[in-house]
């Protein structure tokens, strides 16, 4: 559900006009809707409410402090993949006992930070990582709560760069090797092995890969129990796809997903952990931009906008589709034109879309790229020395800049020219 729709011919974020945000904050900017975040969290929570579960929002999707604080107040936990994300989750008021530390390469310092905070679980992805965690836990006199992330070798049917559950991916431990990890862990006094974890990919648009992976993991859990190991938690990661429109397949609803998970896990007697990211954040944000120039090239019409691939890299990196709409609703008789929508960066890859039919536009017109709330701002860079763009959170008829645009002076301050240059 989106809270971005037109009122009296002007696109709004809840009850705030995007034209007003553009005038007061400037473009490009990310604009988020608090109501959408809240609704998505609640829909997901309801879908899994019949299970004993923890929802650990995947911070990597959108890690703004205002967003994390909003989700913390709704009761969310956090799935973090770095010391930075851990610090963000704690600063936003997410209690440590709801924090899961995922990731294939946690450093010693990150393990120490997680142990000192008292997080709920480390998802480990290799034997050397488990050994290192044991050493650090013993060193500071703690016992690390751990789940083993398995690699179920299932094809999630998603873009290759966001598929994570096949044997050739770097993630997880082969199911056949997990028994040995549990055997070794019995002899590690700094480790309390409590569960199984997995995450098979992102933007998954059908339930079959989830069903296959859960079934495999359930078999493993039963096998481990027969060997005398206690399994208390089962973390199935994130990955539920969302609609980006543009004719893509309609992903399963959270309810269908929740029902499937419950059916396949109800006899296991485990606490379920979910790590949704995109499902919570994706449709809670838009990228607001302005048309700089309309250029009629030899073969194409280019809409050159002030946002670029450094602000939203998904189209360049994953050929991702984002719906594009003018902020001012077009007249009924508006001419439709085929545009390539591009940014100002000096690379042909700085293209948001090609051959998109849009109402005729002019320099100065505002547009939005929808479904930019997840993996938008968090993946931005300052390439071409374009400062990170502001993030704005709307709630009802009010808005706030929740991350401001740094000035060039702020950026230059972080760099240093040694006197021997």
Residues with catalytic function: 346
Name 235's bridge partners: 197, 273
Number of residues that bind ligand LLP (CB under 6 A): 21
Helix residue ranges, H only, 26-105? 34-47, 65-74, 83-91
The DSSP output letter for 221 is: H
Please select the residue that binds ligand LLP; options are 53, 70, 72, 79, rule is CB under 6 A.
79
Please select the residue that binds ligand LLP; options are 85, 125, 275, 340, rule is CB under 6 A.
275
Shortest reach from residue 349's CB to ligand LLP, in Å = 15
Shortest reach from residue 230's CB to ligand LLP, in Å = 23
Name 166's bridge partners: none
Choice between 302 and 318, CB closer to ligand LLP: 318
Choice between 105 and 269, CB closer to ligand LLP: 105
Cα 52 from Cα 262, distance rounded (Å): 10
Choice between 242 and 368, CB closer to ligand LLP: 242
Shortest reach from residue 199's CB to ligand LLP, in Å = 4
Shortest reach from residue 83's CB to ligand LLP, in Å = 16
Residue 375 in the binding site for ligand LLP (CB under 6 A): yes
Shortest reach from residue 345's CB to ligand LLP, in Å = 18
Choice between 278 and 395, CB closer to ligand LLP: 278
End-to-end C-alpha distance for the chain, whole angstroms: 55
Choice between 120 and 240, CB closer to ligand LLP: 240
Shortest reach from residue 216's CB to ligand LLP, in Å = 17
Residue 37 in the binding site for ligand LLP (CB under 6 A): no
Contact mark string toward ligand LLP, 169..208, x via CB under 6 A: ------------------------------x--xx-----
Which of these ranges, 17-25, 38-46, 246-254, 276-284, lies near ligand LLP under the rule CB under 6 A?
276-284
The residue written with tokens 């549990």 in the block is 182
Joined together, the tokens standing for residue 271 give 């606490």
Joined together, the tokens standing for residue 9 give 């011919």
Choice between 6 and 246, CB closer to ligand LLP: 246
Residue 277 in the binding site for ligand LLP (CB under 6 A): yes
Shortest reach from residue 79's CB to ligand LLP, in Å = 5
Helix (H, G, I), strand (E, B) or coil at 332: coil
User: Cβ neighbours of residue 231 under 8 Å, at least 6 residues apart?
Assistant: 194, 195, 196, 221, 224, 225, 268, 270
Cα 409 from Cα 195, distance rounded (Å): 48
Residue 383 in the binding site for ligand LLP (CB under 6 A): no
Q: Is the dihedral of CA 92, 97, 103, 105 positive or negative?
A: positive
Beta strands in 84-143 (DSSP E): 99-101, 121-124
Beta strands in 59-213 (DSSP E): 77-80, 99-101, 121-124, 144-151, 173-174, 191-197
Distances from the Cα of 329 to the Cα of 68, 107, 169, 324, 366, angstroms? 32, 50, 45, 12, 10
Cα 122 from Cα 359, distance rounded (Å): 50
Please select the residue that binds ligand LLP; options are 36, 38, 102, 371, rule is CB under 6 A.
102
Residue 279 in the binding site for ligand LLP (CB under 6 A): yes
Phi, psi of 244 (to 5 degrees): -100, 10
Contact mark string toward ligand LLP, 219..248, x via CB under 6 A: ------------------xxxx--------
Beta strands in 324-379 (DSSP E): 324-326, 336-342, 351-359, 366-369
Residue 252 in the binding site for ligand LLP (CB under 6 A): no
Which of these ranges, 18-26, 56-64, 359-367, 397-405, lies near ligand LLP under the rule CB under 6 A?
56-64
What Rg value do the Cα atoms of the chain yield, rounded? 23
Question: Which residues contact ligand LLP (rule: CB under 6 A)?
Answer: 58, 60-61, 79, 102, 162, 199, 202-203, 237-240, 275-279, 314, 318, 375
């Amino acid at each position: 559900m989106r809270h971005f729709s037109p009122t009296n011919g002007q696109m709004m974020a809840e009850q705030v006009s995007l034209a007003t945000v553009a005038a007061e904050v400037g473009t490009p900017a990310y604009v988020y809707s608090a109501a959408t975040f809240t609704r998505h969290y609640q829909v997901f929570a309801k879908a899994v409410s019949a299970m004993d579960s923890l929802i650990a929002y995947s911070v990597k999707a959108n890690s703004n402090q205002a967003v994390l604080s909003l989700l913390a107040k709704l009761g969310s936990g956090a799935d973090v993949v770095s010391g930075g994300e851990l610090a963000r989750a704690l600063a936003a008021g997410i209690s440590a006992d709801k924090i899961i530390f995922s990731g294939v390469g946690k450093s010693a310092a990150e393990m120490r930070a997680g142990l000192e905070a008292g997080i709920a679980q480390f998802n480990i992805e290799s034997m050397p990582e488990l050994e290192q965690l044991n050493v650090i836990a013993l060193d500071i006199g703690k016992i690390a709560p751990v789940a083993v992330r398995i690699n179920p070798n299932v094809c999630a049917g998603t873009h290759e760069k966001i598929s994570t559950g096949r044997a050739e991916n770097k993630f997880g431990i082969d199911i056949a090797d997990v028994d040995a990890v549990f055997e070794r862990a019995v002899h590690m006094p700094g480790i309390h092995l409590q569960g199984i974890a997995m995450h098979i990919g992102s933007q998954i648009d059908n339930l079959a890969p989830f069903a296959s992976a859960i079934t495999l993991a359930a078999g493993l859990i039963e096998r481990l129990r027969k060997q005398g190991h206690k399994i208390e938690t089962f973390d199935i990661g994130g990955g539920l796809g969302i609609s980006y429109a543009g004719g893509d397949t309609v992903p399963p609803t959270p309810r269908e997903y929740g029902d499937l998970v419950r059916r396949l896990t109800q006899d296991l007697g485990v606490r379920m952990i979910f790590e949704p990211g995109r499902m919570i954040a994706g449709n809670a944000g838009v990228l607001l931009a302005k048309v700089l120039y309309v250029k009629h090239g030899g073969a194409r019409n280019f809409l050159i906008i002030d946002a670029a691939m450094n602000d939203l890299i998904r189209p360049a990196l994953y050929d991702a589709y984002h719906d594009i709409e003018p902020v001012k609703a077009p007249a009924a008789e508006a001419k439709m034109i085929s545009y390539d929508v591009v940014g100002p960066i000096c690379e042909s890859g700085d293209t948001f879309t090609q051959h998109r039919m849009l109402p005729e536009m002019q320099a100065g017109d505002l547009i939005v790229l929808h479904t930019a709330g997840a993996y938008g701002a968090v993946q931005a860079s300052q390439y071409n020395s374009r400062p990170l763009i502001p993030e704005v959170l709307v709630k009802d008829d009010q808005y706030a800049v929740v991350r401001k645009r740094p000035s060039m002076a702020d950026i230059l301050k972080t760099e240093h020219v040694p006197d021997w240059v």
